[in-house]
Structure 1
């Protein structure tokens, strides 16, 4: 019966560790890039719904729940960086528009890959 020697196992483990150390940073960059893409898309869709709500009703909503109950969006948008739908920052609409939510931004701390703070998105 022939098995593997300790040296052969160590060589294989070293190769696996080397390949993992190359792949892991690329994987985390991939995840970060995708989270930012989802954040941008969620903001775009929700902002479109806010504008459509204003066009239809002549005012902006007082909460995001109004967009859901009136079926402008199916569910509250999720901030993928915080993995929550409760940490959005809201901006009031410019006068003379009525309502409480004219725009929304991410509540996530930090800076995106392109150098913009997430709160400015």
Structure 2
């Protein structure tokens, strides 16, 4: 084997340069960053959707309670009484204040407030849930009974 053959052989077996490797690493890093941001957005939307679904389930429980008792729930016990024909979905917790909702896990917790002169004469209510996109109590309120925007709602008793 001659010296020229060895030099030609070495030129043919060249690997990647450090610049080429760095470019590949940067491109992979950019793609990973985009994927992570997208995943977090999808996760927060899914959690918010789950929380909204749980709030709608609580609305249905409150409507069912009204059908059975001729009034809307006014205490936490009203949601858990064994005499009720409709129960809260498994894992859903009714909380008494938005502050409690902010410190909870959010997607399985809701805040219910009643409308009326007292807990035993409630004529409606409102249901709030956690919005994971804004990390705050959702601005969307689900109303129960004759509750509507602008009404005064009272925190339920524990």
TM-score range, shorter chain: 0.5 to 0.7
Alignment of 1:12-91 (within 5 A): 12-70=24-82, 72-73=87-88, 74-77=90-93, 83-84=105-106, 88=111, 90-91=113-114
Tell me how far apart the structure 2 counterparts of residues 109 and 33 of structure 1 sit (CA, whole Å): 7
Highest Rg: 1 or 2?
Answer: 2
Q: Distance in 2 between matches of 1:109 and 1:27?
A: 13
**Is contact 1:62–1:100 with CA below 8 Å preserved after alignment?**
no
Greater relative contact order (CA < 8 Å, ≥ 6 in sequence): 2
Q: Any stretches of 5+ residues in structure 1 without a counterpart?
A: none
Contact 1:62 1:99 survives alignment (8 Å)? yes
Query: What TM-score, normalized by structure 1, do the two folds share?
Result: 0.64
How many residues are treated as equivalent by the alignment? 113
Q: 1:57 to 1:48 in 2, by over 3 A?
A: same
Distance 1:86 1:11 in 2: 47
Please, what is the CA RMSD of the aligned residues? 4.0
Q: Which moved more, 1:79-88 or 1:7-16?
A: 79-88
Alpha-carbon shift at residue 81 of structure 1 (Å): 9.6
Equivalent-residue separation in structure 2 for 1:76 and 1:100 (angstroms): 23
Tell me the TM-score normalised to structure 2 length. 0.51
Q: Deviations over 1:58-100 (max 9, x none)?
A: 12222234312335214443769951467725242599x8238
Segment of structure 1 superposing worse, 9-18 or 49-58:
9-18
More strand by share: 2
